[in-house]
Amino acid sequence: MKFSVEMLGIYLCILITLMSLTEIPPNLWGPSGWIFLHYVTFGFRECDKEDYTHFFNYLGNVIPCRFCRESYKQILETSPPDVSSREALIKWLWDIHNKVNDKTKRSYNNASLEDINKRYGSYLKRGCGSCNKTK
């Protein structure tokens, strides 16, 4: 079956329209997404470094906003996840969050690293049952 240029153009328009319909505005998922990601970093376990690296690398493929996905992937090119320790990963995400806030001009929420530790670290359980490592 041959497609004319006109048919191909129509198909492309439909495809682009469908893709744009699956976009979800960041104001709907962003704030809760950041909370989730900060808790993920506080749950870091030394024995799962590879899983955390994969998680944060693949996150760029599923963020429900095309521009956010592209921006996140660009940030990862110069700032890959630092899984050398829990503290390093927490700081890495804090840096990423602040870069995104700067890019979106949301300076109201640039919490200090100390604020992040107080906010999310209060629920932290010390130690890891499966690999017996602490902090």
Structure tokens at 94: 């804090």
In tens digits, the chain (135 residues) has pLDDT values of: 555 556 656 766 665 555 555 688 888 888 999 999 999 999 999 999 999 999 999 999 899 898 999 999 999 999 999 999 999 999 999 999 999 988 887 765 668 899 999 988 887 765 555 555 554
**Residue 49, burial from CB neighbour count under 10 angstroms (0-12, 13-18, 19+):** middle
Domains of the chain, by residue range, sit at 26-121
- Name the nearest CA neighbour of 41 among 116, 111, 128: 116
Q: How many CA atoms lie within 13 A of 109 on its CB side?
A: 16
Q: How far is CA 124 from CA 43, 45, 50, 86, 135, in A?
A: 7, 12, 21, 11, 9
DSSP 55-96: HHHHHHHH-SSHHHHHHHHHHHHHS----SSHHHHHHHHHHH
Structure tokens at 132: 């017996």
Do residues 135 and 46 make contact, with C-beta atoms less than 8 angstroms apart? no
CATH fold, domain 26-121, is Four Helix Bundle (Hemerythrin (Met), subunit A) (1.20.120)
